[in-house]
Structure 1
C-alpha cells in the first residue's frame, strides 16, 4: 500500500484545519468559499492590528486602517448588492452627508468599493482570484446601471480616482 510522505500529510492538516477553524468561527461571507472567507478574516484582523508584511518589512498600505477592520467585508458586499438591487433603470451614487465620520462615510458606495478593493489586494492569490471574480460580476452590473461623469472627481492631491468614483452622483 503506497504511503504519503509525512511532509505532505502535515501540509494538508495545517491548511485544512486552519481554514475550517476560521470559517467555523465567522461563517461564510456572501457567496464566497470557506477558504476565501478565512483568508478575508485573517486579512481583516492582521490589518486591524498592523500585521502586514511586504518583502520582510512591515507594510502599512492604509496608515489610518480606515477600511480594514474585523467583520467589515461582509457588510460592504451586502451594501454593494443592495445598491445594485435598487429599482429603476439608471442608478446614481449618493455622497455621504458626513464624509469624515467613520460610520457615515460608507453611505457613499464609491468608498465601499474602495474598501473592497483594499481588502482584495491584501488577499493571497487563490482568495484574491475568487474575490476578484465576484467583484467583476458586481462591477459589470454597476457600470451598466450607472452613467459616467463628464466632470470626474480627483483626489485632493490631484490624482485620478478609480473608475467607480467617476460616475454621476445625485447631489
Structure 2
C-alpha cells in the first residue's frame, strides 16, 4: 500500500502541472470565417485554440464570452478582413457608424479588472490613415481595451510585421507569429 501512494504523487503532480500550464495561456486567437488567409493562420498556429466568427452570432459577444470564460487571457489576436475605415466580422462591416449601434462592444468594458486587455488587429491598412486610426481609437474607448494594428506592411505574416499604432500607451505583445 505504501508503494501505491508513493507512485501516485508524481502522476498527480504531473497532471496538476499540465493543467496549470494550459490554464495560463494569455492569448485568445480569433479568426473570421471569411478571412482570406484563414488556412495560413491555422497552419502557422497548430494546436492553438481558435475562436471562429461567423454570421450565426454576434462576433463581439463571442469575443466577450471567450474572455469571460478564461480569466487568464489578456490578449486577443484578431484576424479579420479590413478596409481603410472598417473591419469585417461575422458577415458585418464594422465602421464607426455601425459600431455606434453595437451594444456588445461596450459590454466588454465590464471585463476590465485593473489592466486593459489588448486587442491586436492583424491588418496592414487600418492604422495607415486617419479614418482607420479613428476607428481603432473608437473600439478601444468603447471596449476599454488597448487596440493595436499595423500600418506599414505588405502582409501580417512578414517577419518585420509590427503593431505601429496602439490606442493606449502601454506595453504591447508582439505578433503571435513572433512568439
Same fold (TM over 0.5): no
Structure with a larger share of its residues in strand = 2
Structure with a larger share of its residues in helix = 1
What TM-score, normalized to structure 2?
A: 0.28
Structure number with the bigger relative contact order (C-alpha 8 A, sep ≥ 6) is: 1
What TM-score, normalized to structure 1?
A: 0.29
